[in-house]
Chain A
Amino acid sequence: MVQFIIRKIAAGLVVLCAISFLTYFLLYFSSSNIARNILGEYASQEQVAQKETELGLDQPLPARFLDWAGHSITGDFGRSWFTGEPVATAIATRLPITLTLVIAAILLIAVLATVLGMAAAVKRGWIDRVVQTGAIVGDAIPGFVLAIILVTLFAIQLKLFPATSSIAPDAGASAWAASLTLPAIALVINGVTGGAQQVRSAVIKQLERDYVRTLRSRGIPEREILFKHVLRSAAPTGLTVLSLQFIGMLGGVVIIEQIFALPGIGNLAVQSTTMGDIPLVMGVVLYTVVIVIIVNLLVDLINGWLNPKVRVS
């Protein structure tokens, strides 16, 4: 098991390095007039040259990457070119909002999708039709369109929630809840429909397996068969679906934050992208990849714990 974990962590680190390397080269290689862009059209040649030296752009690309990577390991991701704010600080102040939103949404999705999916698979009938139709409708309406509908309806027309909510990190819990409820609902509605559908088919697949019939023949109560055996065997599928949804949500939250005017990481990502603030863009990419790697590692570990075959090998 320990070996299994070490192997997974090592694989994650390799991915992290590969992606930072690729992103770094992509960003710096293709945008040539960085200093000119920052200083504007009317800056003199000397000013541009000076800026380039200041940003270290006169160094060759591989050297710059190594320098950046060396600093990154110590937690220093550089400073924003425009505000001068350290990248680490910029991310750290915005991280709580995004993470609260995404984690709350994914937990809600996990619970709701499991309950709905199980109910649809076991009871069939109307609830099954609702889940199946819901899955199609959920697929058919893009998440951000749904969010726009929610904002127009509940915040602008009905005024039940704040439409734009620039919450401060130190604001009270109620302010957070008020600001994050609607965005979270937007994320949940979008994820739960597909999730429930996947749980449903995974559970149905398990229910059709031979061992379920044998368990029934042994006099094991139906509820125990469902919750102990079937749910456990269906769990890896559910986890994979959840992890993919989580990854998708890290992107989707960018648009959601924009619609609800939340000062989260997504907001930072959009700003830095439009301005060409490359150190910040790098920071956002790095943070996202780290979170994804952690999530994938967790999923692998849980699957290993659930499946004795993985555990033994």
Chain B
Amino acid sequence: MSQAVELTGQTGVVVRSHVIHKVLRNPMGMIALAILAVLVTMAVLADVLAPFDENFADIASTLAAPDANHLLGTDSVGRDVWSRLVFGARTTLLSALLCAAVAIGIGLPAGLVAGYYGGKFDGIAGWFVNILMSLPGIIVLLTVRAAFGPSVWISMIAFGILLSPGYFRLTRTSVQSVRNELYVDAARVAGLSDRSIISRHIFSVVRAPIIIQTAMVCGVAISVQSGLEFLGLGDPTVATWGVMLSEGFKNVYLTPTLLLWPAVAIGLAVGALVLLGNAVRDALEDGEKVKQRKRKAAESASATERTTPAPAKVRQARGAVAAVESGTEHHLVKVTNLGVGYPQADGSIKKVVDDVSFHVDRGEILGIVGESGSGKSQTAFSILGLLPGTARIVGGSIQFDGNYTVAPGEEKVSQERLTKLRGKRISYIPQEPMSNLDPAFTIGYQLVTPMVRVLGISKAEATKRAMKLLSDVGIANPERTFQAYPHEVSGGMAQRVLIAGAISCEPDLIIADEPTTALDVTVQADVLDLIRDLQRRLNVGVILVTHNFGVVSDLCDRVVVMQNGRLVEEGPVRTILREPKDPYTQMLLSSMLEGKEPMTMLVSASAKEAVK
């Protein structure tokens, strides 16, 4: 690692590796494949490996102990256990394959058609699927046995039909999600036939889930088939593991090992299939886990940092947090040299915020401007203490109203300190209005509860205040909105409700993360007016995270500009917008369309290279 070179800004790369590789590297995947290989070999070479015919009975030596002739002994009628085990592998694996083949043969095409074309076929298929899924498998197989007699193959065909809904649903869901993807639309515009679209764009999506499902289905088939035979419902002339198990169970008091071998065989086969399915799934889910070993590496890396004096002070001051630097207490929020990072699979830390410092005073609106990936939202969430669980504070401090919420040297935001502040003194306006309200509760409930919890007022009192808040944020009919569920109001209305929630406990600081980005322009203008009025009336400090310079000029007093996790420029709004010093800010502002001559090039050739 070239960590000797201290890089600034966002550093580190996201590490990924290939699927098949991952399955093979996963010890579980390897073991599973090895077991399956052994079982398949047994099944294929059964005639060579088995010294006796599966049904050859040596009446003279029943329940014999293992010897040179009978590797694993004999059963109650003197049949060779090893031979029966080997032939059993053949029947068992073949029947599992038959079951999976039937299930795929029905489920996959039906799922493709239902998912791609929808319509009547989808409805009818869905009805059948619901019926099949609500039938207990074994009861159905008993019925089939009653009707058709004992046959491994017939019962596995029936079971395959029973399991086909799994494939149907899987395929249908994948196809539906892909069918509406824009790249399928693009293929249609290009004039690709449905068949080409399905084989080229859609089948590739279902392939991997089908493999996983098949591993699981084969496992289930083996265990159900063995179960049926264990019940004595199988064909007694065919050696299978289930029949052997049943035989062993009858003699459990005499020769327990008769039970052992088929049980081990079934356990290994089913276990290996399940493990394989899991290994493939793990490999597909890109969730790279941070390895133990790597975490140690990270710890040793941070150990070297401890040589700096500041963290030592912290360790000694556990519980009682160190006092902030004197002369800065009057700032509502002060962020000093903040760094935020995420540990990666290879043990390195990917920094998303690096060395960021700014402050906000009471009654002031600070804009944090930047493009996607600039770290502006991460900065805001670290003040709220609402970073994802894996995030680490890798440097700097945050203080709120004269007290540290993140003291220098601390790795995590202290939830203990922030729970006392959140809602009551620091509040939050999110970006997407709809997804930020719990769909299962009324708007009134979601407004009243925080007030009851945070302010300790009665429900009636809180309800009265909620009504007032709703009319304060410009909602014409507060009673109706109060009783409504989130899905019953519009996006603009939901954003007003969220703003009402943010001011409900009279906070000192509001953190607004792109509060108007998800809204239509005309609604955005109304919401900006609302935020401005409320801010003036309540004299709160506001941190406004946005990518839109129009929003900045409408609301902000001061601005910080961020790029790749670093702060590039800070200053009063007029200075930043009119005379930006930093080339990045200049470039951003020159990309604005407002006031430009239409139909002219926006970016000069040199700047074009820089952006690339």
Contact = CB atoms under 8 A, between A and B. Distances in A.
Interface of A: 15, 18-19, 23, 26-27, 29-31, 124, 136, 139-145, 148-149, 152, 156, 209-211, 213-222, 224, 229, 232-233, 244, 247-252, 254-255, 258-259, 269-270, 272-274, 276, 278, 281, 284-285, 288-289, 292-293, 296, 306-309, 312
Contacts of A285: 139, 143
Interface in B128-146: 130-131, 133-140, 142-146
A173 B457 CA distance: 51
A250 B134 CA distance: 11
A308 B223 CA distance: 41
Contact of A247 (B134, B146, B428): B134
B453 A273 contact: no
A149 B256 CA distance: 11
Nearest to B268: A140
Nearest to A157: B256
25 contacts: A15-B131, A26-B144, A136-B278, A139-B216, A140-B271, A140-B274, A140-B275, A142-B223, A142-B227, A145-B263, A148-B245, A214-B498, A214-B501, A217-B423, A218-B423, A219-B454, A221-B453, A229-B440, A251-B139, A252-B138, A254-B138, A255-B138, A293-B134, A306-B440, A307-B440
A142 B384 CA distance: 48
Contact of B259 (A18, A141, A148): A148
A219 B227 contact: no
Contact of B453 (A139, A219, A229, A309): A219
A288 B139 contact: yes
Interface string B207-224: 000000000100100110
A153 to B, nearest CB: 11
B161 to A, nearest CB: 12
Nearest to A163: B252
Given A213-B436, A214-B430, 18 more contacts: A18-B131, A30-B147, A30-B148, A139-B216, A140-B270, A145-B245, A148-B245, A210-B436, A214-B436, A217-B422, A217-B428, A219-B505, A247-B135, A250-B139, A251-B136, A288-B135, A308-B439, A309-B487
A304 B583 CA distance: 57
B438 A217 contact: no
Contact of A148 (B143, B147, B249, B430): B249
State the 7 A-B residue pairs at the shortest beta-carbon distance, nearest first: A219-B423, A251-B138, A142-B223, A140-B271, A217-B428, A251-B136, A218-B450
A244 B139 contact: no
A233 B143 contact: no
A250 B131 CA distance: 15
Nearest to B504: A218
B432 interface: yes
B134 A292 contact: yes
Query: Which range contains the number of B residues in contact with the other chain?
Result: 35 or more
Contacts of A278: 146
B430 A31 contact: no
B228 to A, nearest CB: 8
B253 A254 contact: no
Given A142-B223, A247-B136, A292-B135, A217 B252 contact: no
Contacts of B140: 251
Nearest to A254: B138
A221 B420 CA distance: 10
Contact of B422 (A211, A216, A250, A254): A216
A261 to B, nearest CB: 11
A142 B505 CA distance: 55
Interface of B: 130-131, 133-140, 142-148, 216, 219, 222-223, 226-227, 230-233, 245, 249, 252-253, 256, 259, 263, 266-267, 270-271, 274-275, 278, 384, 386, 389, 419, 422-424, 426-428, 430, 432, 435-441, 449-450, 453-454, 485, 487-488, 498, 501, 505
B136 A250 contact: yes
B442 to A, nearest CB: 8
Nearest to A149: B263
Contacts of B488: 312
Given A142-B266, A244-B133, A255 B231 contact: yes
Contacts of B389: 124
A249 B266 CA distance: 20
Contacts of A289: 134-135
Nearest to A258: B231
Given A217-B423, A221-B453, A152 B259 contact: yes
B505 A148 contact: no
A27 B146 contact: yes
A18 B441 CA distance: 39
Contacts of B233: 270, 273-274
A95 B264 CA distance: 34
B144 to A, nearest CB: 8
A220 B450 contact: yes
A269 B450 contact: no
